[in-house]
Amino acid sequence: MSACNIKRILFTFIIFSFVFSNKSSLPNNFVYLDDFIPNVVIELRYNSSFNFLGRNVDGYKNNKCIVTQNMAEALKKVQNDLQAMGLGLKIYDAYRPQIAVDHFLRWANDETDTLTKKEFYPTLTKRELLEKVYIATKSSHTRGSAIDLTIISFPPSKQESFKIENQWDCSKGNSGSQRDNSLDMGSSYDCFHKISHTNSVIVTPQQHANRLLLKSLMEKHGFKNYYKEWWHYNFIEEPFPETYFNFP
């Protein structure tokens, strides 16, 4: 066998090993959601500056959405129901490592950092974010069976980029130009304000109807909504109810 052929074989083996190790790196019963739902739209906000920290969050290395397999199977049923209407799911966050939750807590306890106040918590102090449990020491996301999501039309339209210097008050709702190509839910993701309560009375009838569409389909397939956040759902039959994970 020539030296050239040996190099090709070694190169192929290295590439195969790298791909295999990446696919095998998740704990048992965890999967990448787009392996189950190839056409799902994933926009992990904590893997960018478009979030209440204004920077990439610790533990987020890429835009790969990780969930428990049981939850992925349930989300696929939701996606199938939406596809019949020309719609689909868009994911903001799913599994969240404990190191990210710790990053949230450090940020919340730093009262000098108010970089994104107007966009995400216009009417609250950071102390109130902790007191009202918008930010907690433990998160159901870290157990792998919570998800933040919305509904999107297909094909997805482009959306305006988020810029720190061009924030708008999220408590005003989505009446103006949106930075999100999803259905209008009446408030933006991670808007810490009563307008984001699922049954808020300060959104329009159409915005409320969009929230109820998401809620009805998620409940149909085994999820429960967190009433303060129209986007947040917990998978009821979660496989790890007492375990908080910390893999990136």
Catalytic residues: 229
Identify the bridge partners of residue 42 per DSSP, sorted by sequence position.
Answer: 91
Please check whether residue 199 is in contact with residue 227, taking contact to mean a CB–CB distance below 8 angstroms.
yes
DSSP-derived 3-state class of residue 66: strand
Q: How far is CA 110 from CA 11, 90, 103, in A?
A: 48, 31, 11
Task: Tell me the residue ranges of DSSP E strands in the chain.
Answer: 30-32, 41-42, 66-68, 87-93, 146-153, 223-226, 229-235
Q: Which residue has the tokens 């482009």?
A: 158
Concatenated DSSP letters for 145-208?
-EEEEEEEESSPPP-PPP-GGG---GGG-SSS--S--B---SS-TT--SGGGSTT-SSS-HHHH
Please check whether residue 78 is in contact with residue 218, taking contact to mean a CB–CB distance below 8 angstroms.
yes
